[in-house]
Amino acid sequence: MNVALAGDGPAVLLLHGFPHTWRVWEHMLGPLAARHRVIAPDLRGFGASERAAAGYDADTLADDARALLTSLGVTSAAVVAIDAGVAPALSLALRHPGLVRRLAVMEAVAGGLPGAEEFLAGGPPWWFGFHAVPGLAESVLDGNEARYVDFFLDSGTLGEGVPPAVRDAFVAAYTGREALRCAFSYYRALPESARQMRRAVERARFTMPVLTVGAQPVGTALEHQLRPLADDLTGHRLDDCGHIVPLHRPAALLRILSPFLG
């Protein structure tokens, strides 16, 4: 795994989404590292991490995160996740509650759990189906990766875009059929991840403090899903914020996240 490390203190693990790498947290690293040991990996198959043939379900990605923390000698961490990073963060917290000190999740829905019916009333976003067909999306997008990534970066910041260097890094990370295959394998594993999530919540609750942050378009859907399953949950919604919260409104996110992390 390719991992960005910064700072000293209580560990904070940052898990990115699609189409991101660890650099989605770029504006957060400095402020968080002033008081924490920040650990920001590229997920399996994403960015500069190994292009694994399989293992894109929530439990396996959570096992990757656990192994990473173990390799760094971390026995307790706050976990912060967005988008595709949320499912493995939830799995890690449910299956290894002694490892996850606090859990902050944003802009995702937990597949298989009730509470997101309003958000999903018109069906999941169109790209979920497009990405789910094995071999299709990468064959269509090969050679057009930049335009495709730009669509998500622009819509995820309400048209404001992201810094050029970050944008170029994301485009490079998702260029080529093998890079795309790995990214889309996460979507192809969503049915299995949903089954894993349903099994996990039958056996466990979120016993650590949980923070949910919603923006546009997901809003409070994840909060509604997790509230019945969490002993201590605080929900926030950022109305003037797009999906890519840590890049679009980093200062607002830090105002919420810093007190929560303690």
Q: Mind listing the pLDDT tens digit for each residue in 94-143?
A: 999 999 999 999 999 999 899 999 999 999 999 999 999 999 999 999 99
For the purposes of burial, counting CB atoms within 10 Å of the CB of 148, is it exposed (0-12), middle (13-18) or buried (19 or more)?
middle
Digit-coded pLDDT (tens) for 142-185: 999 999 999 999 999 999 999 999 999 999 999 999 999 999 99
pLDDT band at 256 (very low <50, low <70, confident <90, very high): very high
11-31 tens-digit pLDDT: 999 999 999 999 999 999 999
Average pLDDT (68-82) is: 98
Q: Which residues pair with 230 in a beta bridge?
A: 206
User: Which pLDDT value is given to residue 112?
Assistant: 86
User: Checking DSSP bridges between strand 100-106 and strand 3-6, what pairing results, if any?
Assistant: unpaired
Distances (CA, A) of 54 to 13, 33, 51, 104, 186: 23, 33, 9, 27, 9
For Cα atoms 252, 258, 262, give the angle at the middle one, nearest 5 degrees.
160
Average pLDDT value for residue range 178-202: 98
> CA–CA separation, 81 vs 90, rounded Å?
9
